[in-house]
Structure 1
Amino acid sequence: KIAKDAVCVVTNRANPLSNLSQNQIQDIFSGRIRSWNKVPGARVSGTIDLVVRTPASGTQDAFQNIFMGEDLRVAGSATTKASNGLQAQAIKSNPNAIGYASFNFTKGLHDVPYAGNVCNLRNAKAGTYGGVRNFFMVTRGKASGATKAFIRFIRRSSKAKNITNTNWVALN
């Protein structure tokens, strides 16, 4: 394990929701709730526009596992975007949009508190924000040689830690 990442539920800044529970997130993203009028605290009205990542995205996989669980899927009506940048731009340009993003891609968006906890690096590191995933480096067998040296560099080098810890949650 080399780092952790906070996966945030995000909205357009015109709709700064104060909190969403796990059930509300599941209801919104599965399509059971389709109107902002049915979401307490919503500052917009009309249809909820889901903007998500493609199924091949690691962030999509993390969102599915953390927020949706095994039995629910994101509604087929959701707009999918191939990159974090395209997803963020789509949400920024649409007041009715909601999606999710790794913490380091939320600039210009509203991070919706999840289960009463703000999505930020401090809460993720403290373990109070529940939308956290781990980043791993995986090897075939026990690491040796240059691979072992590289992993040691990533985990111990102050320069590498500065890069990793800038937008992800530090392990120490």
Structure 2
Amino acid sequence: MGLLIIFSALMLVLAACGNGDSDKGKASSGDSKEISGSVTAVGSTALQPLVEAAGKQFQSENPKAQINVQGGGSGTGLTQVQQGAVEIGNSDVFAEEKDGVDASKLVDHKVAVVGMAPVANKDVGVDNLTKQQLIDIFTGKVKNWKDVGGKDEKITIINRAEGSGTRATFEKWALDGADTVKAQEQDSSGTVRKIVSETPGAISYLAFSYIDDSIVGLSVDGVKPDEKNVATNDWKIWSYEHMYTNGEPKGVAKEFLKYMTSDSVQNDLVPQLGYQSIKQMKIERDAEGNVKNI
């Protein structure tokens, strides 16, 4: 009987220990939070390819998260995030530069830098323009490529729509704020590239990430449109890629924005898709255009 009592007591102790280990296992598994939910990012078409690619990677690592990405232009992104219609507003320009946007209510998350360049149909016979020639073309003073050293061919301007961050950046830094002549307008960077490549004499402007061998990216004043020149501000037609939130981000939006500045995005996706890592910049520029070394 004594042995039976001792054995029963021992079994109770072992059971208690086992239950304790089991409870610890549940607690530790509960410590790792699984990211779930959805977030919608709307706005800049220049930034769209990067956010889409990063979103797919983020979803593959977090199967219960969903990242919805749409274009529409920077103005649309800033307006919708301010209204609370979406969680993230993608923009090529600072919120302070957009009329009707209360930048004080928005939080800026810079995720990349994008260089932009004038682009032309490959048959124009020009690969470099002076800044003044560029201004004269887009303001309608020069209407034939022969007047800037190219073929005897009419210049056809393809513009981005009002509200486009790419257009705002180009007009500010390439045209010194000059208003472009009334011309065909397109909402999408991809559509602009297609039209320029298929239209003899066409000229427009695109983010570096959209420039391929179907068109020619034009140098300005002998400076080539490349990442090295953007980093030092020798090429001045560039902007930060912003992802704005209405207040501090929470939940999936917070985690996704953190992911956008991670090494896997900044060191891999960003250069692969033709953008520039914010970590590679040697200068910093604010909304007023003031530049300082970093």
Quickly name the TM-score band, shorter chain normalised.
Answer: 0.7 to 0.9
Partner of 2:136: 27
Of 82, 87, 95, the residue aligned with 2:187 is 82
The alpha-carbon deviation at position 92 of structure 1 amounts to 1.0
Partner of 2:162: 55
Deviates more, 1:54-63 or 1:136-145: 136-145
Q: Which fold has the larger relative contact order, with Cα–Cα distance below 8 Å and residues 6 or more apart in sequence?
A: 1
Bigger radius of gyration, 1 or 2?
2
Q: Give the 3-state SS of the residue equivalent to 1:95 in structure 2.
A: coil
Partner of 2:208: 103
The alpha-carbon deviation at position 115 of structure 1 amounts to 2.2
- Output the CA distance in 2 between the equivalents of 1:144 and 1:85: 32
Structure 1 regions of 5+ residues with no counterpart? none
Q: Give the 3-state SS of the residue equivalent to 2:220 in structure 1.
A: coil
Q: CA RMSD in A?
A: 1.9
CA contact (8 A) 1:114 1:130 kept: no
1:3 and 2:112 matched: yes
- Output the CA distance in 1 between the equivalents of 2:175 and 2:233: 19
Q: How does 1:56-75 map to 2 (within 5 A)?
A: 56-70=163-177, 72-75=178-181
* Number of equivalences: 167
The alpha-carbon deviation at position 145 of structure 1 amounts to 5.0
Q: Deviations over 1:99-131 (max 9, x none)?
A: 111111111111110122111223223432121
CA contact (8 A) 2:160 2:167 kept: yes
The alpha-carbon deviation at position 143 of structure 1 amounts to 4.1
Partner of 2:145: 36
AA aligned opposite 2:211:
T
In structure 2, relative to structure 1, the CA distance for the partners of 1:150 and 1:12 (3 Å cut) is same
- Output the CA distance in 1 between the equivalents of 2:191 and 2:251: 39
Q: Give the 3-state SS of the residue equivalent to 1:139 in structure 2.
A: strand
TM-score when scaled to structure 2?
Answer: 0.53
TM-score when scaled to structure 1?
Answer: 0.86
1:46 and 2:153 matched: yes
- Output the CA distance in 2 between the equivalents of 1:144 and 1:69: 39
- Output the CA distance in 2 between the equivalents of 1:16 and 1:171: 35
Of 64, 74, 91, the residue aligned with 2:196 is 91
- Output the CA distance in 2 between the equivalents of 1:142 and 1:122: 33
Once the two structures are aligned, what percentage of the paired residues are identical?
22
Of 131, 151, 167, the residue aligned with 2:257 is 151
CA contact (8 A) 2:127 2:216 kept: no
Q: Which structure is higher in strand share? A: 2
Q: Deviations over 1:69-108 (max 9, x none)?
A: 33x21101x2222322221121111231111111111111
AA aligned opposite 2:167:
Q
Structure 2 regions of 5+ residues with no counterpart? 1-109, 280-294
